[in-house]
Structure formats: C-alpha cells, structure tokens
Structure 1
Amino acid sequence: MAQLQDSGNLVLLQRDTERFLWQSFDYPTDTLLPNMKLGLNRRTGKNWVLTSWKSKDDPGTGDIVYRIDPSGVPQLFLYKGSVRWWRGGPWTGERWSGVPEMTRNYIFNVSFVNNKDEVSIAYGLTNPSIVSRMMVNESGNVQRATWNQRDHRWIGFWSAPKEQCDNYGECGANSNCDPYDSDSFICKCLPGFEPKSPRDWYLRDGSGGCIRKAGVSTCQSGEGFVKMERVRVPDTTKAQADMNLSLKVCEQECLKNCSCTAYTSADERGFGCMRWYGDLVDTRTYSSVGQDIYVRVDAAELAQYANKRKDLLARKGILVIMILSVATAVSSVVLFSYCLVRRQKRLSQNGQHEMFICSSSTLPDDHPREKELDRSGSDPHLPFFDIDTIVEATDNFSNKLGEGGFGSVYKGQLSNGQEIAVKRLSKQSGQGIKEFMNEVQKQLLDWKKRFEIIFGVARGVLYVHEDSRLKIIHRDLKASNILLDTSMEPKISDFGLTKLFKEHQIEAITKQVVGTYGYMSPEYAMDGLYSVKSDVFSYGVLILEIISGKKNTEYDKESPSLNLIGNVWKLWREGKGLDIVDYSLLEHSYPCQEILRCIQIGLLCIQEHPADRPTMLEVVFMLGNETSLPSPKKPAFVFRTQSEQESLIARGEVCSINDCTITMIEGR
C-alpha cells in the first residue's frame, strides 16, 4: 500500500495487486496524483480496475467494479458483482461510445492502447495545478470530480449511470432506449423488429426486448440496412472489428453473411469496420453526439423507410419556405416598429416631453412629492419626478455646476432641504434616459454582483455552445443583449443572428457579416469566418466592459488613439491592470487578485488568433478555479484612431459606431 501524506491529508493508492483502489479522504494541498490507468496486460494477466469500498465506513473491497472487458471489441463496464450495471461501450478513437461528455475533454490527456500485449486507458492531467479524482461508490456509481480551490470542495462534472437508459440492457435485445421521446415509451424496437411480449411492452416493461418480425427473410432476399443516428452502439462482446476496411466494404461484407445483423465504423472519424452477429443489446440514443449504426432489415422494411425519408425531405422543404415567408413578414413589422420608435424619440428630444432622474437617495414615504414618484418597472432607488418638481428644485435651472457628455448638470434643493444634482439631457446628445439610468444603477453593481454576471453569462454561452441539443453560435453577444432580472441574474437575449452548427462542425463562413461594432472578432469582421471562438471574443470584450464600466467603442480622452481593448492591453503590459476598474467600485473594498484574474481571462478571450482563445468550457473552469493562467498575446483591434475609424466607415468597410445591430436576412 503506497501512502502519500501532506499536512495531515491522506491519499491511499494501491497498485501492487491486480486492482487499483483510489479514495481521497481530504484534499491533498500539494500532492500530485499519478496517472490513473484501467485495463489488462494480456501477457501477464495483470488487471487495473477501480473498485468500491464495502460501505462508507468500511474500506474493504466492495462488489462494484469499474474495468475494461477485452472480449470481442474491448469495452468499458461498471459491474455490480457479476452483473453488468452500466456500459461505457467500445473506444471510438476519441472517446468511449457511452461517454458523450468525453468529446468536450479539456483537462485530461487520454491515452488508449489496444494491441496484442495490452488493452488499457490512462488519464493524465494537462495542468499539474488541477486536482481531480475518479471514484466508485458502494451504491453503484462511478464519479469524476475536480477540486475547487475557491470554495474548498469537490465539484462533480461527470457520473454514470445517471438516467434510466444508462442501465445496462434496460430495453432488452434488439431495441433502442430513447430518453428524449417524452410522448411514448422510452423503449423502441429496432427497425425490422417487434416486441417479444406485446403485453409487457404495453405495461412499459421492455426488459424482454424485441424479435425479428414474423414471416420475413433477411438472407439473400433483397434486404438492406436502415441507418440509426446518434446512438451508443450495441454491446460489442461478440462483435468483430477490422480497421483495414472502409465503411462501404464493411456493408458488403455484412451482406455476404446472413448472420450479420448490423455494422458501423470502428472509429468515430469514419475509419475501420465493426460488425455484429446475433442480437443487438444495450443500444441507446443521445441528443447530439453518438455514432451511426446500420441495422439489417428485410426488403419490405427497407422500402418503407425509404418512403418515410422522402416524405420527411418534402416536409422539410415546405417548412423552409414557410420559415422564410414568416421571417420576411416579421422583418417588415420590426422595420416599421423601429421607424415608429425613432420618430417618437425625435419628438421627445425636441422638447415634447421631458423627464429627469434624481441621482440622490430616495424620498421618505410620507413626503408630499412621493405621489409623483413613478415606480412602475423601475428600481425603488431610482425615483422619477415630473418637470415641475425639477424646475422648482433647480430654480428653473439657474445654478449650473458643469457640463458632461449627456448635457448640463445643475444644483438643486428639494422642499425638504435635501440638496441634489440634476443632469439635463442635451437635445444634441445621442444618449437618453436608459443610458443615464444605467449610469446610476452602477451603484447597485458591486464587484460581487459583477462577477456573478460574468460567471453567469459564461455558463449561458457554454450551454448554447456545447450542452444544448443544437450547437448554437450567437454572433451578437454584447452588453445590451444581457438582460438582468429582478434578482440581477443575467439572461442572454436576442438570438436573431444565431447560426446552428452540425455536430462536428467547427467553423463556417458568410459573405454577409452581421453583428455589432466593437464586439465582432477580427476573423469574422474581416473575412466572414465565424465559430464558437467568435462568441468567445465577444465575451472577452464584455468582461472588460463590465470591469471598467466603459464601452469598447468609447475612446479614452487621455489616449485618443486607444479604444477600451487597447487601453486595457497597454495598462496590463505596464502592470497597471487595476487602473481600468470602474470608479464606482473604488468606493468599496474589492478583491484585487480576483479582478486581475478576470481581466487576464478577458484578454485571453480577445486574442487575435482564434486558436489562441480558450473555449467557453475552459473559461468557466478558469473562472471557478484558481489555477495558473497563460499569458495573453496581443489582442485584436488594439490601435484605432478616431480618424481611421471614420475613414473606414466612409468607405463602407465597417459598420457604424452606434449600438444598432446590423441585420441581413439569410437562410440558416
């Protein structure tokens, strides 16, 4: 038994027998764990497995075992005694077939070996400062977790089994478990099969599985294959694999043998051939990842599926036409509404109606002017007063204190003697009440709340990139598209410019660049090339805006040649990163190192080359853990003088500098 000790914290490792027992009693502050290995040495018979304790209080060897089964095509299994409890499936070249989360691997170096001497997998950490553990508990779950230094606790990010379709053989033989069909039974017979016991099936018991439909032949009778998408392939204990065959040859070889029931690529990237003989057990559907498998069916079934596919394509064509028609109609309504709003705004700015917001504290409830306060839809700390109240308090705007970007500032006094400062919006100002309210709301956004917004938006973008059923690129991530609810929780809005990516699609290109100036990544703004890294760039700009309280399109008066990105980069290189912090935060204490870390993450997100930028999964991990961060490279759009910008706009090479989103209708 190997024992590592650090500050009273123990990690027990056992590697001198055929099993590998791993259990952490507490977080080992500076202890780096060795790579974890599962598998079998075919020559010596030595087996590396992960086992549970007998109970929470008894560290003896339990009956839950996590190991690789080398039979047929090797697979990962979780056993409860001798019973197969959960199946991770065969290795697909990138992941276990039954572990779709491995496609988003970001902190592990995974090495899989399968040769005449050994079949094994080893997990190593890419960053030595990260502490991770994998354990099997006595109730029959395998769990992976990482240590969160900020909160001093383990954060679980993967476990199995976690839903009904994860249970081995849940629907019996020759069936598929589909947890995403909420309208009917999760168990579905594979094409060409029917329930073995219709009564049990009716009672929602699929354990008996399915059998081939009666009176059909799948041997030299015009049979073929039906494609099933996004599945964990069936149990490969009795399957055969040949890495030298193409998928087309694989189909031909399967057709030659009447006992061959299905085939697929042995590698998820399209290499090799894997064929099944006999029953197909433990197949299940995933929402976005998984392999395609081709199931053998008779001629009649093949014709039915062909007709269904034609009907589906026809319906999709009609749907596309309907969507385009509706989009055109909606765009017309939006354009009309926009023009109407602009007209109303011009009337308001021309003196038709004026309202002011007092930037002092609220009035007492019994004050005679309290009835004039409009609290509808606004924060109680931002009271509204009518023009008569403001005129009276400022003596008809006679005591001018100064002038700013919004307009002039006047000194005033309420009837209760409280002194106030009033900003009167200039008719020439492009700003309005919304912008002024945002300025006064800054007082509500301390650093704790700003960090929660930064973290919340990151999780939201991560969800649409990787966790939703469809892979979504937002393409217009900006401050005005982040809404705060009554609890100041962030919500990402305006998905009008989104693009949907296919499962393995990495990037795309468009001739019509849409988005908002100041948030578009360089590869998108210049070449129309967009990907998840385009959203990462926009998110990085957003981080810096939240910290600084300034827009990226605003120019520093002391350095007119720099925008916000350029100013942050300049100060960061000079070791003055905290100089960009919003002045309203200076009134309160704030964690300097945490803010500097967020600035560094923001700079990593806006690096010029997409490959240098982190993924949103890495961003979320960096925000939640105090691991070391790489040094950011020079960002894009660092230097831009006002004259250069105006020149580009005049030539039509970039969009305008206002907050309007450029939108062109194009098919998704």
Structure 2
Amino acid sequence: MDKLPFVLRYSLLVLVILSCAEILVAIDSLNASRSISHNETLISAQGQFQLGFFKTGSSPRSYLGIWYNVDPNQIVWVANRDSPLNDTSGVLTIQNDGNLVLLADGRRAVWSTNVQNAESGTVSAQLLDTGNLVLKEINEGTVLWQSFDHPAHAMIAGMKLGWDLRISLDRNLTSWKNTDDPAKGEYTYGIRLHGLAQVVIWKGSSIHYRSGPWNGVHFGGIGIRYDLPFITEPVVNLEEVYYTYQMNNKSSSVVSTLTTNGELQLFLGDNTSEDWRLLFKVPTDQCGTYAYCGPNAICFISGPQTCSCMTGYQPNSPQQWDIGVWSGGCVQKRQLNCSERQDFKEIEGVKMPDFVQYQVNLNMSLEECKATCLKNCSCTAYANANASGQPHGCLLWFGDLIDVRPLNIYADQKLALRVSASDLVSESGPNKKKKKIIILVTIAASVCLLSAVLFFTWRRKVENKGGKLGSDETEKENLELPLFNMVTITEATQCFSNANKIGEGGFGPVYKGKLQTGQEIAVKRLAESSFQGLNEFKNEVLLIAKLQHRNLVRLLGCCIHAEERMLIYEYMPNGSLDSFIFGGSNHTKRLLVWRRRYSIIIGISRGLLYLHRDSRLRIIHRDLKASNVLLDCEMNPKISDFGMARTFGEDQLITKTLRVVGTYGYMAPEYVIDGIFSMKSDIFSLGVLILEVVSGKRNSQFHHPDHDFNLLGHAWQLWLEGRAPELIDPSMEDTFPMSQVLRCIQVGLLCVQLRPEDRPDMSCVLQMLGSESSELPQPKRPGFFTERYFKETDSLLAGRWTPDESTRTTIEGR
C-alpha cells in the first residue's frame, strides 16, 4: 500500500469512505434488494432507535420490534405480537406487492403492512429518529404506512393517541398478555368519543379508568405539570381527536406504557443511559378505579370514609355501606318533585361525572344551561363544558352521576347538583326558626297545591267526560317522561321527510331528526296500520323511562298530539346490528373485527343482566334480536324496543300468555309452543344472537348444502364433530384469539339448550364469557334441532299465527 502512487492511494481511500458512508446511510432503511434477518437490525440515523428481532424471558419465541438503542429492554413497538416466530428463521423484506412483510422460514407471512397499490421497486422502509417505522414511496416521499398508526403497548413523543375521524382510525394502546408475552392483553388505553372526548382504560369491554371529559384545555381528571422537558398537546376538532407529546430538548425521551395490570405509566429518561424515572401513573389509587363508589357518590382517597353520598342522596344499601362495600352507590332520599322549590348545590374541584345519560350543547351559556336543567324534571346536574376563559357550553346529566372524585389540581369546573330546597337548608346548619318557617310554608303550599289539583281534576272530568281530549291529557300526565310538542318534532324531522326516514318496524316508521339544540334524535312514529297500539306505546314509555344503563337505548321523551303517538330516542349513528352482520357490504363487515364483535356480545349481555337483575323492575324483553340492538358512534351496543317487554316480581320465575309475540328464529321453544316465558326465554334469544354475531349468519334464514338444520342445529352438529371453528364468519380478520371465539360459541350453545332449566342465568353467562380459566359445561341439544322442510314449514307458519301475531314473528328484521 505504501508503494502505491499517492493519487491511487487517495482514490482508494475515497472509495472506502464512500462505501462506508453508503452503508451508514442505508442502515436505517430497507428496499426491494435488502432484507434483515435475526442477526441484523436497522438503526435510526441519529442512533436513537433500533429495529430488529428480540426474545422475552426464557421463551424460544421471537418477535420483530423497535426499542431505544441505549436500552434494549425498553421496547416501544412489536409487529407480530400475536404471531410469534418459533425459531430464528424470520426475515423482514419488501415483497413484490410493495408491502413490508415478516416471513417465517423464508416463506410464510406472519405479519404485513397490508397496503394497496404499491410496487416493490418504488417503495422503501425506513426507521426514523422519532421511532416511527414508515413505508414510503421512494420518488415522492409519500408515506403509505407507519407504525405510529398501529401502536402496541407504548406511546412515545411524536405519536398521536386517539382518532383520525376522516378515516375512522383509532390509535390506542393494548397491554401485553404478561411480562414475557407481548400478545394482546385484556387492557386497552385510548380516547372514547362518547359525549365529550375522554381518555379511558378498558378492561375487556368494561371501563377500568377514565380521565374526565375534555374541557377545552385538557382532559378534566388528568393533572399536567409545566416543569417537565416535554409538553402534552391535545387536539380536538371535527377531523381529529388525539393528544401527543412534544420534547423541549433532544437529550431526553418520554414513553407511556400500558402495563399488564391496567396502569398507564409515564417515564422520563435521557438518551445516554438506561435509567428511567416514573413521573406519573393512572389510576393512582382506588378512587381512580371506575365507579368505585357506585352512582351518586363521591370518592375521597383521604378522610374517615372513602365514599360519601351526594347531597340529597342516601346509601342504596346501608348494611353494605356500613361494612365498607360501596359499589351499590347512593339513591335519592326521595323523588324530586318539580312542583317543589329546587335549587342547585355547586360542588367544586371534582372530576365531572361520566356520560351515561346526558346532553351536550357547546353553544349554550351557563345561565341557559341552568334554566334548561331546571325545566326538565329528569335533569340531575349541569356544568360548564369549557374551562378556557369565559364559561360557555352546557353539560346536562340525567339519572345517575357516575365516577366523581375530588381533584387536587385544575379544579376549574363546578358541578351543579340539583337538590330540593329542604336538602340545602338541612345541610347549611341548624337554624330551627328558619326550618319551622320553611316547614309551615311548605305545608301551606302543599295544601293549596293539592286543592288546586283536586279542583282542576274534577273540572276536567266534568268538561271532558267521554271526550277524547281529556283522555289524551290524562295519558300525558301518567307518562313520567319529558314531552315534546308536535311543532318541535316536525321541524326536527323536516316534516317527516322521506330523506330523513331511517327504518320501519312493527311500531311504524323511524325518522332521523335534529333539535334546535343540535342534538340528533330518532323519532319512532306509531303507524295507523300498526298492530302495536297504545298499549305497546305506553308499555315502552313506562318501562324504559325507569331504565338507566349504558347498554340500553335512552328514551329522551315522547310526543302525544291528537292521534299521533311518537317516541323520541337518542340517535344511534351506526344503526342496528343486523345491518352489519347480515346485510353489510364487505367493507362494513370488515369493521366487525373480533375484538369489536366480542365487545358487542359483552355489552348486550350486560344490558340484559341489568334488565333481569339490577334494574328497579325485573324486565323480560321478549324480543331480543339483532335488529333491536343499536350501535352508537363507537359501536357500543344498546338494546332497544321495549314494546313487548313485561315486568316480573322479585319472586316470580315464569308466566304464561295466550298471545305469543316475538320474532321467528329468536323465540324459545317453551314460549312458541306453550306461551311460557321467563328470563330463560331472553337467554335463549341471547344465545341465538351470540351465534349470529360469531357466524355472520341469520338463524331463521340459514341454509347449508349438506343438511336442512337452522343455524343452531348447524352449530350443534359442528360442536359434536369438533369442527366448531368452521362456524366463524369468513369475513373476519385472519388473526384473533381462537379460544375466546370458541368460548363464545360454547356459551351461545349453552344459552339455546332445549330445556329452560339447563340454560345459565345472565350472571353466569357474563362470568363464562369473561373468564378464560374456568371450565364450561358441555352444552346439551338446542331447541328446534330437527331438520326443516321449507315448503311445509312455510305453510305451517302461515296457518299457525294470527294476523296480530304474524307482525311480530316475521323473519324480516324490523
């Protein structure tokens, strides 16, 4: 080398430097001609992050992931978390279709970016210094796919957590199954759009923790310090709802991790060591656990008693309350009477209640908000929706107030709780003279009011004896529900235009509408030709007005005008479940990934458990089916249509009817044949619904080339032959927890067993659905297992049902 001419030596040195530079530049990227295997990694340009293969614990399984270069144990993203490699033969490459693909044994794809319309020669994959792995077009630089849109269990600076509403993209975190298994665990962390946006941790389909609603500045229940080397930037508008971290300097890093026990932990570290400092975690205490004290109570982490009832409320179960079991919460000491004097008690510095029954109007002033709440007897509290500058925006709560606790910082919203004047006086301290005056005035006013009521009642009976107006007005008085006038509903639905018609059932047509407040509604209008008359109308109003549960559709009010009878519900933007599982397009069906289907099954089951056990009245629905399950904007299921529901006494188990009503394919055998119905009848319907959600097929219209069984018989036959996975809807995604799906099939078959006493009750159903460890009993033969002969069956059905019943036993979904 020393004997070479100077020019030649210089040229060789330049070539070596250029070659090394090329290697250094290429080390963060892949293209069609370059792949990486188990002994290779990508390192971002500034050396911040590394992508490669890793193992956990003593397991031989390996995964493709991204981690901090200075700390290989701080893994921030995993590609094939549910599809581990069993050896070291994995290869990450760009295939001919332009997708970044992880291959096992060099052939079988276990993970892919799944983008469309790309070509291998025109794309490259690059690990950026932000920790984001991107697949982009080489010439234009357009990003086709990025790991930031598909988080695992961790969030780092620059990543958005939340929604891109333009493409319905929900970026959320999912915990590991355990510390050595990156597979998806039972906890999910993300932003819930229901009501005002909130940050939520779910355990399965149940809320484990929530932050409090977005108040124009931050999420109400999360305190943010300003002395940190990063800032939290929330964005809430019509196109996106998310938050992200931005670093103030490049020497530090921040990472939020969702742990296997449901904690979100935020760590701060520097870029030169493996040391990480825990800055923040939620939930921090037992009051952070969702609804720890039950409804209408405030949770105090310090003090003589953890849970305290709000003013005007008392423990639902004093015995349980005395021994420290608070989950039952509190109930009103007495029903608020709108004819009595009422006011509001301001509770400062608390997390706003969750949105269970609510109304939001961001354009209303606080004074208007108070007046609106005071006019509505069902309104239990109101608050300012915006904490930035001049108070504006209105939050109204109806029914129970859930998950309230004091906050140490950012106590800039006040919850105004509706209370009777007597409750305010009793709380303000002993003043016997004032109390006596109030009592005397109240008694005098009550006597006057009672006299007036008796007089006007007598006069109305005299004036309207036998008249129609009197009966309508009495009907209005008997309905414990807000009344809408005809003008309001006509304007909201644009004169019941066909463009606003969204469906039609046995009751009549259903219209979408929008009130002047901006709230969207669904109006169910009793048709003149409907076989469901005033009895069903009254039944639905009287029953559902008393029901309060997140998985039951909320009835906002009713309208009675001359011959018109209408029910006004909260609007469900995603329509009914049957439109997704039966009549949906391929795109619609793809939205029903298994996690969402499972969440729907759990939600329906929780709603049914509430009806059977936890509501004030024990209610048998009698018409549970896919078309009577509505889906809100987050695909949360809500049971609807209580026109055929019946109440049971606490000790009542079964009853019999001469008028069998329901929908063919969902009715239990004992109900169809003998008119006997009970809670087990609803459970039969639930079992049918579970099997339909799993299979994507309708029970009553199911056909198979090899036999004439309905869906229940087909599922039972597959179960006996050990071929239950064949029941799964082929349009579902490729990877899902098979054991969970099979458990749902087994629970569905247990619910549709022929004998009612063999079917589980709802508490057992939920326990079986949610537990992976417990062993389930083997199902027995389902009801209606015999093979069908369609021509004969059709003629039998035509002669079996009276016209009044046929409207309720039609195979068509209402």
Considering the TM-score relative to the shorter chain, is it more than 0.5?
no
Q: Under TM normalisation by the shorter chain, which class is it?
A: 0.3 to 0.5
Task: Give the TM-score normalised by the residue count of structure 1.
Answer: 0.42
Task: Give the TM-score normalised by the residue count of structure 2.
Answer: 0.34
| Higher normalized contact order (CA 8 Å, seq sep 6+, divided by chain length) | 1
